[in-house]
Amino acid sequence: MNLCSTVLALYLLAAAVKLWHNVVEFLDLCGLPVDPQLFMQVENALTALSLAGTTWWLVRRLDPPRRGSEGRARRRVLAADLAAVLAVLAGLGLLVPALHAEAVGMALHSGLVVWLAVVLVARSGVRPGDFGLPTRWHPRTPRTVSVLIGLSASAALVLAVFLLIVLATLPGPQGGQPPAEGLTELVDSVRSAVIEEIVVTAAVIMLLTRAGIRPAPCVLVSALMRALPHVYLGWQALAVLPLGLALGFLFVRYRRVMPLIAAHAARNTMVFLPGWALVALPVMTLLAIVGTLAALALVVRGPRADDRPAGTPQIKKKASGSTAARPIQPTP
């Protein structure tokens, strides 16, 4: 399958249900409400299609049995089938109490989508470790560049929130995020961070790059995919576009996705902390300042050959015109 079509299909499998939710909310903002019964029917159908399509695609994309690897391939297929069954049972409320069924089903489905994204990227010739995912149970201490990337991503996330506040003053359709409370909302906040960074940033950019598209259009497509599910915010959804461009640029530059996930998940879950409303402004201002300084440090420091994970193309430095950089020729 063409890699560009793969990107679109993967995105729809990951975001179809959320896109439907947000389109309905946007129509409601415009005075065009959707019938609740139709809303539920479409939501259930999209959930079933997304789950079935992800599982089928994942099983089909697993490595076929080869000499010496039949047992490994069989275990992978069984693991995919088991994960699919667990996701279905959780979504139906048969595995866990109905109160937590949505949260557990959401988490299991997210795991399937992320797994599929990693498999698809690996099938295009890129190993999970090549775009910053840990490949060992006990990873090494984070490098300085990872900390700087995480702080820079935090600044971009905080500045996006400030831009949301500014855009909220514009006339026209204006939405808003519901209060953050409950297990389902907490799981969804972590889920959105993982899905957006691994699927919409890392997998999309790497698959499009493998298809021969230049980095700038890849980052733009990723940013648009990130902004589209936020149309329920009305004009405020425009604040997500520069955020997507900034995080996409950081990924293209350094090929490290874990700092982006950590920063995004931390930002999304902060609102669940007790008393967050009292310290939100000073904490976010501090993050914006520290993150901006970290971004400046990255600019001053410049990219180095060992910044990217092992296996990614090395960053080539421009050759200087001085003779000092040339190898010394032995005298006869």
Q: Which pLDDT score, from 0 to 100, does residue 96 have?
A: 57
| Cβ atoms of 255 and 131 closer than 8 Å | yes
In angstroms, rounded to a whole number, what is the distance separating the alpha carbons of residues 42 and 21?
10
Phi, psi dihedrals of residue 8, rounded to the nearest 5° = -65, -45
Alpha helices in 62-203 (DSSP H): 70-91, 98-123, 144-167, 183-194
Q: CB atoms < 10 A from the CB of 288, how many?
A: 18
pLDDT at 328: 45
The predicted pLDDT at position 241 comes to 94
Give the three-class secondary structure for 234: strand
In this prediction, residue 144 carries a pLDDT of 86
CA dihedral 49→50→53→57, nearest 10 degrees, is 180
Q: Cα dist. 266→18, 107, 148, 151, 153 in Å?
A: 21, 17, 15, 11, 11
In sequence order, the 6+-apart residues with CB closer than 8 A to the CB of 252 are: 205, 215, 218, 219
**Mean pLDDT, 10 residues at a time, the chain of 332 residues:** 86 89 82 85 85 81 58 64 63 58 76 86 80 66 84 95 86 64 81 93 93 93 92 84 95 92 93 85 93 93 76 54 45 46
pTM of the model: 0.83
Domain boundaries, the chain: 3-301
Residues composing the chain: 332
Q: Is the four-CA dihedral 83, 205, 314, 144 of positive or negative sign?
A: negative
Please give the Cα distance from 18 to 180 (Å, whole number): 17
Q: What pLDDT is attached to residue 137?
A: 58
Cα–Cα dist 259/265, whole Å: 10
